[in-house]
Amino acid sequence: MTRRVLVLGGTAQARELAERLARDGGYEVVSSLAGRVGEPRLPPGRVRTGGFGGAEGLAAYLAAERIDALVDATHPFAERITGNAVRAAAGTRVPLLVLRRPGWTQGPGDRWHWADDLPQAAAMLPGLGRRAFLTTGRGGLAAFADLDLFFLVRTVDPPHPPLPRHHRLLPARGPFTAEGERALLRRHRIDVLVTKDSGGGATEPKLTAAREVGLPVVVVRRPPPPRGVPLTPDPASALAWLRRAAPPDPHG
């Protein structure tokens, strides 16, 4: 029997899992994208775009589409979506796995300053520099709007106001290189970097560049994973979990 898997995606790991499921056989994968990024890189299989209408809407979708397993492979900071997935899975008794790439690890030479959220990160900045490279995504920029600093704001898609008073927008999508990031820091005379602990290799070169030129980095901690829900760091182990939680019929 073919098993139907809903992957809450939008990340490189979600795409890789969909690719593995397509190759593996025995699974029909449906990837759900929030629709907040223009021209996303689409995974194989069915793709739906847009929200479900909260936990209740997601639960209704799971039941109507006869979903056998749910994988939350969204961004590590997508707390609301993860919370909805936990409640929907509990209400429908659909097995749920959270797929989260590991966060970054501070190493020798790194000058990291940890913040619990964006407002705390903004409060740290005046004591660290005057020209900030802001790479926290297009949401939550209002936290920096009242600071009298220069911000180079890099996002995939145009952000919504309010924006920092003094800023320059830099639309770009990774992966990036350490050489390119070093050149960017020099060109814009950046003296402090602000980022979320998103993890992953595509955007990690900015941390390497900051270390090499001696810049302080404000790192926003990621929210803790939900309690009582299996957590795995990579698509390979997610596929292994699916084979246990919703094994396909080898003769189906």
Residue 35 confidence (pLDDT):
63
For residue 251, name the pLDDT band (cuts at 50, 70, 90).
low
- Spell out the domains of the chain, with CATH numbers in brackets: 3-102+224-245 (3.40.50.720), 111-220 (3.40.50)
Categorize the per-residue pLDDT at 40 as very low, low, confident or very high, splitting at 50, 70 and 90. low
pLDDT band at 41 (very low <50, low <70, confident <90, very high): confident
The per-residue pLDDT for 39 is 60
CB 11 within 8 A of CB 75: yes
**Helix segments in the chain, DSSP class H:** 12-24, 54-64, 79-92, 118-124, 178-187, 205-213, 235-245
Q: What is the pLDDT of residues 161-210, one digit of tens each?
A: 999 999 999 999 889 999 999 999 999 999 999 999 999 888 999 999 99
Using one digit for the tens of pLDDT, what is the confidence trace for 10-38? Answer: 889 999 999 999 888 889 999 999 766 55
**What residues pair up with 32 in beta bridges, in sequence order?**
8, 48
Are the CB atoms for 150 and 132 separated by under 8 Å? yes
**What integer best gives the mean pLDDT of the chain?**
93
Q: Is 242 helix (H, G, I), strand (E, B) or coil?
A: helix
Give 121-159 pLDDT, tens digit per residue.
999 999 999 999 999 998 899 999 999 999 999 998 899
Report the pLDDT value the prediction gives residue 37, as an integer from 0 to 100: 56
- The DSSP bridge partners found for residue 148 are none
pLDDT at residue 2 in the model: 86
Whole-angstrom Cα distance, residue 35 to residue 38?
7
pLDDT in tens, 206-220: 999 999 999 999 999
Structure tokens at 19: 């690719």
DSSP track, 34-58: -S-SSS--PPSSEEEES--SHHHHH
pLDDT value at residue 249 = 67
* The pLDDT of residue 250: 63
| In contact, 138 and 160? CB cutoff 8 Å | yes
In angstroms, the first-to-last Cα distance of the chain is 4
